[in-house]
Amino acid sequence: MKLIRIHIPLDEPDPVLAGRLSGKKAFVRILEQLPNLASPTTVFLDFHGIELATASYLDEVVVRLRDHLRLARVPGYLVACNLGDRVEEELNDLLIRGSEAMLACSLSESGHISVPCLLGSLDQKLRQTLDLIEELGEASASQLHADHGESNGIGPTAWNNRLNALSAKSLIVEISNGRLKKYRPVLETA
Protein backbone atom coordinates (compact mmCIF):
# COMPACT_ATOMS: atom_id res chain seq x y z
CA MET A 1 0.00 0.00 0.00
CA LYS A 2 1.19 3.51 -0.81
CA LEU A 3 2.34 5.78 2.04
CA ILE A 4 2.13 9.55 2.37
CA ARG A 5 3.54 11.65 5.22
CA ILE A 6 2.16 15.09 6.06
CA HIS A 7 4.08 17.15 8.61
CA ILE A 8 2.18 19.21 11.13
CA PRO A 9 2.26 22.22 11.83
CA LEU A 10 2.41 23.10 8.14
CA ASP A 11 4.80 26.05 8.41
CA GLU A 12 3.40 27.35 11.71
CA PRO A 13 6.29 28.37 13.99
CA ASP A 14 4.37 27.72 17.22
CA PRO A 15 4.94 24.30 18.88
CA VAL A 16 1.50 24.69 20.51
CA LEU A 17 -1.51 24.16 18.25
CA ALA A 18 -4.79 25.42 19.66
CA GLY A 19 -8.33 26.25 18.69
CA ARG A 20 -10.96 25.18 16.21
CA LEU A 21 -10.27 28.00 13.78
CA SER A 22 -6.56 27.10 13.59
CA GLY A 23 -7.55 23.46 13.14
CA LYS A 24 -9.94 24.30 10.31
CA LYS A 25 -7.23 26.31 8.55
CA ALA A 26 -4.74 23.46 8.97
CA PHE A 27 -7.30 20.98 7.59
CA VAL A 28 -7.69 23.09 4.44
CA ARG A 29 -3.89 23.33 4.02
CA ILE A 30 -3.59 19.55 4.40
CA LEU A 31 -6.19 19.01 1.68
CA GLU A 32 -4.23 21.37 -0.58
CA GLN A 33 -1.06 19.28 -0.02
CA LEU A 34 -2.75 15.91 -0.37
CA PRO A 35 -2.37 14.40 -3.84
CA ASN A 36 -5.28 12.63 -5.49
CA LEU A 37 -5.21 9.05 -4.28
CA ALA A 38 -5.10 6.51 -7.10
CA SER A 39 -4.96 3.49 -4.80
CA PRO A 40 -5.62 2.82 -1.10
CA THR A 41 -3.04 4.83 0.83
CA THR A 42 -1.88 5.13 4.41
CA VAL A 43 -1.59 8.80 5.31
CA PHE A 44 0.71 9.51 8.23
CA LEU A 45 0.02 12.80 10.00
CA ASP A 46 3.39 13.62 11.59
CA PHE A 47 3.39 15.67 14.81
CA HIS A 48 7.16 15.64 15.33
CA GLY A 49 8.24 18.73 17.29
CA ILE A 50 4.74 19.67 18.44
CA GLU A 51 4.63 20.12 22.21
CA LEU A 52 0.87 20.45 22.60
CA ALA A 53 -2.25 20.34 20.46
CA THR A 54 -5.62 21.03 22.03
CA ALA A 55 -8.58 18.70 21.67
CA SER A 56 -10.46 21.30 19.61
CA TYR A 57 -7.54 21.61 17.17
CA LEU A 58 -7.15 17.82 16.94
CA ASP A 59 -10.87 17.36 16.37
CA GLU A 60 -10.81 19.74 13.39
CA VAL A 61 -7.64 18.24 11.90
CA VAL A 62 -7.24 14.58 12.83
CA VAL A 63 -10.79 13.31 13.21
CA ARG A 64 -12.06 15.37 10.29
CA LEU A 65 -9.19 14.27 8.04
CA ARG A 66 -9.70 10.61 8.94
CA ASP A 67 -13.38 10.84 8.03
CA HIS A 68 -12.64 12.77 4.84
CA LEU A 69 -10.09 10.19 3.68
CA ARG A 70 -12.42 7.27 4.34
CA LEU A 71 -15.26 8.85 2.33
CA ALA A 72 -13.11 9.55 -0.72
CA ARG A 73 -13.61 7.55 -3.92
CA VAL A 74 -10.24 5.91 -3.29
CA PRO A 75 -9.88 5.42 0.45
CA GLY A 76 -7.07 6.70 2.59
CA TYR A 77 -6.28 5.40 6.06
CA LEU A 78 -5.07 7.98 8.59
CA VAL A 79 -2.43 7.18 11.21
CA ALA A 80 -1.11 9.79 13.65
CA CYS A 81 2.64 9.52 14.15
CA ASN A 82 5.43 10.92 16.31
CA LEU A 83 3.06 12.22 18.96
CA GLY A 84 4.57 13.91 21.98
CA ASP A 85 3.19 12.81 25.34
CA ARG A 86 0.86 15.79 25.73
CA VAL A 87 -0.42 15.59 22.15
CA GLU A 88 -1.07 11.86 22.55
CA GLU A 89 -2.90 12.47 25.84
CA GLU A 90 -5.15 15.14 24.26
CA LEU A 91 -5.90 12.97 21.22
CA ASN A 92 -6.56 9.89 23.32
CA ASP A 93 -8.95 11.82 25.61
CA LEU A 94 -10.76 13.32 22.59
CA LEU A 95 -11.22 9.89 21.02
CA ILE A 96 -12.41 8.30 24.27
CA ARG A 97 -14.98 11.08 24.81
CA GLY A 98 -16.30 10.50 21.29
CA SER A 99 -16.24 6.68 21.58
CA GLU A 100 -13.74 6.70 18.72
CA ALA A 101 -10.41 5.02 18.04
CA MET A 102 -7.48 5.41 15.68
CA LEU A 103 -3.94 4.20 15.21
CA ALA A 104 -0.74 5.96 16.19
CA CYS A 105 2.92 5.02 15.86
CA SER A 106 6.45 6.30 15.67
CA LEU A 107 7.69 6.82 12.12
CA SER A 108 11.36 7.39 11.35
CA GLU A 109 12.55 9.69 8.57
CA SER A 110 13.34 6.57 6.52
CA GLY A 111 9.74 5.32 6.95
CA HIS A 112 10.35 2.64 9.60
CA ILE A 113 7.22 2.11 11.71
CA SER A 114 7.62 1.30 15.40
CA VAL A 115 5.60 1.40 18.61
CA PRO A 116 2.16 1.02 16.99
CA CYS A 117 -0.74 1.57 19.36
CA LEU A 118 -4.47 2.04 19.44
CA LEU A 119 -5.70 5.36 20.82
CA GLY A 120 -9.22 5.94 22.09
CA SER A 121 -11.64 3.13 22.78
CA LEU A 122 -13.35 0.27 21.00
CA ASP A 123 -16.27 -1.68 22.30
CA GLN A 124 -15.54 -5.30 23.13
CA LYS A 125 -17.02 -6.73 19.90
CA LEU A 126 -14.99 -4.41 17.68
CA ARG A 127 -11.83 -5.06 19.71
CA GLN A 128 -12.31 -8.83 19.36
CA THR A 129 -12.83 -8.45 15.60
CA LEU A 130 -9.71 -6.27 15.26
CA ASP A 131 -7.73 -8.85 17.25
CA LEU A 132 -8.92 -11.62 14.90
CA ILE A 133 -7.92 -9.63 11.79
CA GLU A 134 -4.49 -8.96 13.29
CA GLU A 135 -4.09 -12.62 14.21
CA LEU A 136 -5.14 -13.88 10.77
CA GLY A 137 -3.42 -11.13 8.78
CA GLU A 138 -6.34 -10.98 6.34
CA ALA A 139 -9.92 -12.24 6.41
CA SER A 140 -13.38 -11.76 4.93
CA ALA A 141 -16.70 -11.59 6.77
CA SER A 142 -17.65 -15.02 5.44
CA GLN A 143 -14.34 -16.48 6.65
CA LEU A 144 -14.82 -14.98 10.13
CA HIS A 145 -18.38 -16.31 10.20
CA ALA A 146 -17.30 -19.81 9.17
CA ASP A 147 -14.34 -19.93 11.57
CA HIS A 148 -15.63 -17.95 14.56
CA GLY A 149 -19.27 -16.99 14.14
CA GLU A 150 -21.41 -20.05 13.94
CA SER A 151 -20.47 -21.38 17.38
CA ASN A 152 -20.90 -17.89 18.90
CA GLY A 153 -24.16 -17.11 17.08
CA ILE A 154 -22.61 -14.25 15.09
CA GLY A 155 -24.04 -14.03 11.58
CA PRO A 156 -22.36 -12.81 8.40
CA THR A 157 -24.17 -9.46 8.55
CA ALA A 158 -22.82 -8.80 12.04
CA TRP A 159 -19.29 -9.59 10.83
CA ASN A 160 -19.76 -7.25 7.86
CA ASN A 161 -20.98 -4.48 10.17
CA ARG A 162 -18.02 -4.91 12.49
CA LEU A 163 -15.51 -4.93 9.64
CA ASN A 164 -17.07 -1.83 8.08
CA ALA A 165 -16.95 -0.01 11.43
CA LEU A 166 -13.26 -0.86 11.86
CA SER A 167 -12.50 0.23 8.31
CA ALA A 168 -14.33 3.54 8.89
CA LYS A 169 -12.03 4.17 11.85
CA SER A 170 -8.94 3.52 9.63
CA LEU A 171 -8.00 0.47 11.71
CA ILE A 172 -8.25 -2.09 8.89
CA VAL A 173 -7.90 -1.85 5.12
CA GLU A 174 -10.72 -2.98 2.86
CA ILE A 175 -9.49 -4.91 -0.18
CA SER A 176 -12.11 -5.48 -2.87
CA ASN A 177 -11.76 -8.34 -5.31
CA GLY A 178 -14.95 -8.33 -7.36
CA ARG A 179 -17.79 -8.92 -4.92
CA LEU A 180 -15.52 -10.35 -2.25
CA LYS A 181 -14.11 -7.96 0.34
CA LYS A 182 -11.18 -8.91 2.50
CA TYR A 183 -9.72 -6.90 5.33
CA ARG A 184 -6.24 -6.60 6.77
CA PRO A 185 -4.64 -4.43 9.47
CA VAL A 186 -3.41 -0.94 8.57
CA LEU A 187 -0.66 -1.41 11.18
CA GLU A 188 0.09 -4.14 13.66
CA THR A 189 -1.17 -2.72 16.96
CA ALA A 190 -0.08 -3.47 20.45
Convert the pLDDT of each residue in 77-112 to its tens digit: 999 999 999 999 999 999 999 999 999 999 999 989
Sheet holding 139-140, edge to edge: 139-140, 180-185, 172-177
Domains of the chain: 2-120 (3.30.750), 124-185 (1.10.10.10)
Mean pLDDT across the stretch 52-69?
Answer: 95
Q: Which bin fits 180, alpha (ψ -120 to 50), beta or left (φ > 0)?
A: beta
- pTM of the model as a whole: 0.91
pLDDT band of residue 121 (cuts 50, 70, 90) is very high
Instruction: Report which of 123, 126, 113, 121 is spatially closest to residue 186, judged by C-alpha positions.
Output: 113
**Using only C-alpha atoms, what is the Rg of the chain?**
17
